[in-house]
Amino acid sequence: METDWMIEDSTTPKVTSLTSLDTGVRPAPSGAAYVAERNTCLNLFSRWNETDQVEFVEQLLARMCHYQHGHINAYLKPMLQRDFISMLPKKGLDHVAENILSYLDASSLCAAELVCREWQRVISEGMLWKKLVERKVRTDSLWRGLAERRGWIMYLFKPKPGCQHPSHSFYRQLYPKIIQDIQSIENNWRMGRHNLQRINCRSENSKGVYCLQYDDNKIVSGLRDNTIKIWDRKTLQCVKELQGHTGSVLCLQYDERAIISGSSDSTVRVWDVATGAMLNTLIHHCEAVLHLRFCNGMMVTCSKDRSIAVWDMTSTTEIMLRRVLVGHRAAVNVVDFDEKYIVSASGDRTIKVWNTSSCEFVRTLNGHKRGIACLQYRDRLVVSGSSDNTIRLWDIECGQCIRVLEGHEELVRCIRFDNKRIVSGAYDGKIKVWDLRAALDVRTPHQDLCLRTLVEHTGRVFRLQFDEFQIVSSSHDDTILVWDFLNYGGASPAAPPPRRASAELDRPFYE
């Protein structure tokens, strides 16, 4: 196949004069004697084997000066270039060319399409834009979520029986549209543009939604009226109510099998996520269970009784206490853990780090001026919120405070972060979105860290969770709000009415 352009490749390459590579005027050969001697050397050179020829050239190069080496380098460069794609046989080895080009990113793939017709053919017939999109979807949660929500995941991977995927041009046009969509979502986050959905949880006895967790199908919430309510994501209606706790439900977490909740009645209860049946009740703490986390057969709970309990979970009905961690001098308000560390925060103003496998104490993080209400821990980073109205970022390995974020006017009650942003909620009724990457750079001015303040709740914000597309938050105002940054279609909602006064409640945070 013809090519628009192809780097010269031949056993007898076109000879480039060294004179043409020099910007100056070079003197002509010395004369007839030089030409005769040169031809004699060339004749001798052609008789030698390849090893001797290489050795002879090396000797010549060693005797040259630096500027001569520059001329030689310029002379050799075009001779050494190879169009490795077009040199492959036209039939039978296309898969090799496709495999080579499949490692390119989007900008490099764009450039490769312009090299020549042969490269463009390989990219098109190999469906390399489709493969690039599929690679992004496999490795990036933002792309995965966008593919599922926008519906173009149906055009990826193996087609369903009887179906055929579109041509290469479809994916070539799809990629920049996806990039544009991602940029639009990012701009919505930064500008605070969102669609708002509101779930009214008000009941006769309810005075606050203390905790929640969500997925694409449901929101599970724990309320002050002692119940756990499950809400349908599409209809926003309550589809199930779990009763059994005799105190406010202060914390919960669920997976595909079970919901586990902690309450001011001092118990931890386990529920079947499908049926809502109560499967187990754990009685250990002697005061309110303020927070819990479970993962990979292990659970950690903490309490107003100042202790942390570590549990081994064989099944939903076989949960055994492994160890009790003591050291805090006030209520332990929050815990988090991974395979290396357990991290706890308390009303005693400290964060403590424990070894996950041995449960031995490692270090204390000091810096907050008042009790700590919330934290999240991932990799080396701990982010905490306190009743001193600040958020602190910590390096868990050295115990150093990296950054202090200021902006909330009351206790920072809940906090979450991902690889881009921190989202915090406070008793001032506000949710703030912070730039995590900027916060980790000490050179960034403080005024550039808070991207947006969201004001819709009319009471204290108790809990929030977020992903690339939305925030779901709960409050003392008996509402759950869904802030949708993906499907924004108009102006942001108007400012909320003034916060209503409320009586003091049995707070899930204890100073």
Give the Cα separation of 223 and 371 in Å (integer).
Answer: 23
Sheet holding 228-232, edge to edge: 209-214, 218-223, 228-232, 238-242
DSSP bridge partners of 258: 272
Give the Cα separation of 111 and 137 in Å (integer).
Answer: 22
Helix or strand or coil: residue 218?
strand
pTM recorded for the entire structure: 0.81
DSSP bridge partners of 251: 262
Q: What is the pLDDT of residue 329?
A: 97
List per-block mean pLDDT (blocks of 10 residues) for the chain, which spans 511 residues: 40 46 58 88 93 93 91 85 73 76 92 90 91 96 95 92 90 95 96 96 83 97 96 96 96 97 98 97 97 97 98 96 97 98 98 97 97 97 98 97 97 97 98 97 94 96 97 96 89 40 43 42
Whether the CB-CB separation of 351 and 344 falls below 8 Å is answered with: yes
The count of C-alpha atoms lying within 13 angstroms of the C-alpha of 362, restricted to the half-sphere facing its C-beta, is: 19
Nearest to residue 323, comparing CAs of 309, 334, 304?
309
Amino acid at 325: L
Helix or strand or coil: residue 397?
coil
Give the Cα separation of 210 and 464 in Å (integer).
Answer: 10
Amino acid at 447: Q
Q: What is the pLDDT of residue 90?
A: 65
Q: What is the pLDDT of residue 478?
A: 95
Return all residues near 96 (Cβ < 8 A) that are at least 6 apart: 88
Note the helical H segments in 358-491.
Answer: 436-439
Q: Tell me the C-alpha to C-alpha distance, in Å, between residue 439 and each of 73, 384, 397, 416.
A: 47, 14, 18, 14
Give the Cα separation of 382 and 402 in Å (integer).
Answer: 10
Torsion over CA: 405, 406, 412, 416 (sign): negative
Return all residues near 499 (Cβ < 8 A) that are at least 6 apart: 429, 458, 459
Tracing tokens 């079970």 back to the chain, one arrives at 258
112 conformational bin, left if phi > 0, alpha if psi -120 to 50, beta if neither: alpha
